Structure 1
Amino acid sequence: MAGYTHNKQDHQLRLRRVEGQVRGLQRMVEDDKYCIDILTQVSAATSALQSFALSLLEEHLNHCVAEATLKGGPEAQAKVKEASDAIARLVRS
C-alpha cells in the first residue's frame, strides 16, 4: 500500500485544481492576456504543485522510509537514498 493511500482523494482533488489552473493558463495565452497576469498564474500553479509534492514527500518519509528503516539493512539504505534523490530533484526544480 502506498503511503498516500489514506489521502488519495485529497491528492486527486489538489491535482484536479492544478489541472484547472493549467487549462486556465492555456486560455489566457489563447486570449492574448497580459504577460504579467499569465506569469502570476504560472507562479500559482507552480506553488500548488510544489505544495502537493511536499505533502507526498512527507507521507513517503512517514510511511515508506520509516517502515524500511525499522527493518534496517540494504532496503533501508535504498529508501533513504531514494528519498534524498527525490528531495534533491525538488530543490533543483
Structure 2
Amino acid sequence: MKHKDALRTLKNARGQIDAIIKMIEENRYCIDISKQILAAISLLKKANVQVLNSHLETCVKSAAFSDDPQEVEQKIKELEDVISYLNKIV
C-alpha cells in the first residue's frame, strides 16, 4: 500500500502534538496553544485524505477490476460509511 505520504504527515502531526503538550506544561498563552491544536488537526485531516486516496487507488481499483461483485459492493459500502462519518463530524 502507498501510505508513505500519510506516514510522513502523521509524523509531523506527532511532532506538533508533542510541542503542544510542552506548551501546555509550560503554561503558554491559550490562544497560541489553540492555534497549534488547529494546525495539528489540519495535519490529521490531510493524512486521512492521503490514506483514503491510497485506498481508492489500490483497494477500490483492484475491487473494480475483479470479477467479484461482492468485493466491489463492500468497497463502496466502506466508502459510504466513511463519507457518512465525515458528514457527522464536520
TM-score for the superposition, normalised by structure 2: 0.86
* Secondary structure, aligned partner of 1:28: helix
> In the alignment, is residue 48 of structure 1 matched against residue 43 of structure 2?
yes
CA contact (8 A) 1:21 1:41 kept: yes
CA contact (8 A) 1:61 1:83 kept: no
Q: Name the CA distance, whole Å, in 1 between partners of 2:62 and 2:44.
A: 26
- Kindly provide the CA deviation profile for residues 27-53 of structure 1, in whole angstroms up to 9, marking residues without a partner as x: 111011111111100100000110110
- Structure 2 match to 1:15: 10
Residue 63 of structure 2 is aligned with which of 38, 54, 68? Answer: 68
TM-score for the superposition, normalised by structure 1: 0.83
- Kindly provide the CA deviation profile for residues 39-76 of structure 1, in whole angstroms up to 9, marking residues without a partner as x: 10010000011011001101111211121022241110
**Contiguous gaps of at least 5 residues in structure 2:** none
| Aligned alpha-carbon RMSD (Å) | 1.5
CA contact (8 A) 1:18 1:49 kept: yes
- Residue-pair matches, total: 88
Q: Percent sequence identity over matched residues?
A: 34
> In the alignment, is residue 88 of structure 1 matched against residue 84 of structure 2?
yes
Q: Name the CA distance, whole Å, in 2 between partners of 1:92 and 1:40.
A: 23
> In the alignment, is residue 33 of structure 1 matched against residue 35 of structure 2?
no
